[in-house]
């Protein structure tokens, strides 16, 4: 194992985009051509369109949610997705609350694509800070249409008495992927970094004859070679990746 967490690049992008909310919103507004609605998936940023192809498969009691086929005008959904004329996702709004009546817009994520790279600053509408700050920043890279790496950085912020903002140490979630010659996912490594602490796990994936990923093996867990136990993918999460 051994992931490149891309710390400095993520921090640099964070600083670059932190003051850009208004411009990003204006650009997205002018490009929106279609809207979709999502239920569930609250544990992952972007819900149904969460970039990682595998993390919801290996985390128990977590799912990506679903798209709503027939949205009601009077309903408040967990996510609203905005796409451009080519069908590319360009903005995602996340609503939180115990009931539909209580739900309010809490996070707005902008998805910016350039060649084989996708970056996405996610802004938090923080009532306590009385301002809009970046809550997280994700980065994805693609090759031949397949995602080959995913990084997501969380960075807490606290408003001080003098009005300045103090930032906590970033937490970075990282994933790298390898594929079969068939184009199906073969292996992945995921890990988390906080200060100097690292926790990494490598996985091997198995597909049936139709290409559906149905089980996986934890090959190495936190630097310790794992036993050859196989883990079944939940029936509701079976898919071709």
pLDDT, tens only, 64-116: 999 999 888 888 899 999 999 999 999 999 999 877 778 889 999 999 999 89
Work out the average pLDDT over 35-44: 94
Question: Is 234 inside a domain boundary?
Answer: no
Q: Which domain holds residue 61?
A: 7-172
Percent of the residues in the chain that have a pLDDT greater than 90, as a whole number:
71
**Kind and range of the H or E run holding 90:** strand 89-96
Which residue in the block uniquely carries the two structure tokens 């807490």? 156
Question: Is 200 inside a domain boundary?
Answer: no
Contact predicate 88/69, CB 8 Å: no
Question: Is 118 inside a domain boundary?
Answer: yes
Give the range among 66-75, 130-139, 152-161, 210-219 with minimum mean pLDDT.
152-161
* pLDDT 10s digits, 25-39: 999 999 999 999 999
Coil, strand or helix: which one is 154? strand
Rounded CA separation 124/142 (Å): 27
Which ranges of the chain would DSSP assign to H, the alpha helix? 7-17, 21-31, 55-58
Rounded CA separation 163/81 (Å): 33
DSSP state at residue 188: E
Question: Is 190 inside a domain boundary?
Answer: no
Question: Is 204 inside a domain boundary?
Answer: no
Question: Is 235 inside a domain boundary?
Answer: no
Work out the average pLDDT over 32-49: 95
C-alpha angle with apex 235: 233 to 241, nearest 5 degrees?
55
Rounded CA separation 226/200 (Å): 12
Residue 70 token pair: 């027939």
Question: Is 38 inside a domain boundary?
Answer: yes
Give the range among 15-24, 90-99, 155-164, 208-217 with minimum mean pLDDT.
155-164
Question: Is 150 inside a domain boundary?
Answer: yes
Number of domains in the chain: 1
- Whole-model pTM above 0.95? no
Alpha carbon 34 to its chain centroid, in Å, reads: 21
């Amino acid at each position: 194992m051994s992931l490149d967490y891309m710390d400095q690049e993520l921090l640099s992008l964070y600083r670059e985009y932190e003051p850009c909310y208004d411009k990003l919103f204006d650009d997205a507004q002018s490009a929106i051509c279609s809207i979709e609605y999502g239920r569930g998936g609250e544990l992952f940023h972007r819900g149904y369109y969460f970039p990682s192809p595998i993390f919801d498969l290996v985390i128990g009691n977590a799912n990506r949610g679903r798209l709503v086929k027939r949205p009601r005008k009077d309903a408040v959904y967990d996510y609203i997705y905005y796409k451009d004329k080519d069908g590319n996702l360009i903005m995602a709004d996340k609503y939180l609350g115990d009931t539909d009546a209580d739900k309010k817009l809490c996070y707005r994520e902008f998805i910016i694509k350039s060649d084989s790279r996708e970056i996405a600053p996610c802004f938090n509408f923080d009532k306590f800070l009385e301002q809009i700050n970046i809550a997280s920043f994700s980065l994805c890279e693609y090759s031949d249409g397949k995602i080959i790496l995913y990084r997501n950085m969380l960075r807490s912020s606290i408003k001080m008495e003098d009005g300045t903002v103090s930032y906590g140490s970033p937490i970075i979630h990282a994933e790298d992927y390898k594929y079969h010659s068939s184009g199906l996912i073969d292996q992945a490594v995921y890990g988390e970094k906080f200060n100097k602490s690292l926790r990494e796990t490598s996985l091997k994936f198995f597909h049936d004859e139709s290409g559906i990923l149905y089980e996986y093996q934890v090959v190495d867990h936190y630097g310790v070679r794992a036993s050859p136990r196989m883990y079944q993918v939940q029936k509701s999460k079976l898919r071709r990746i």
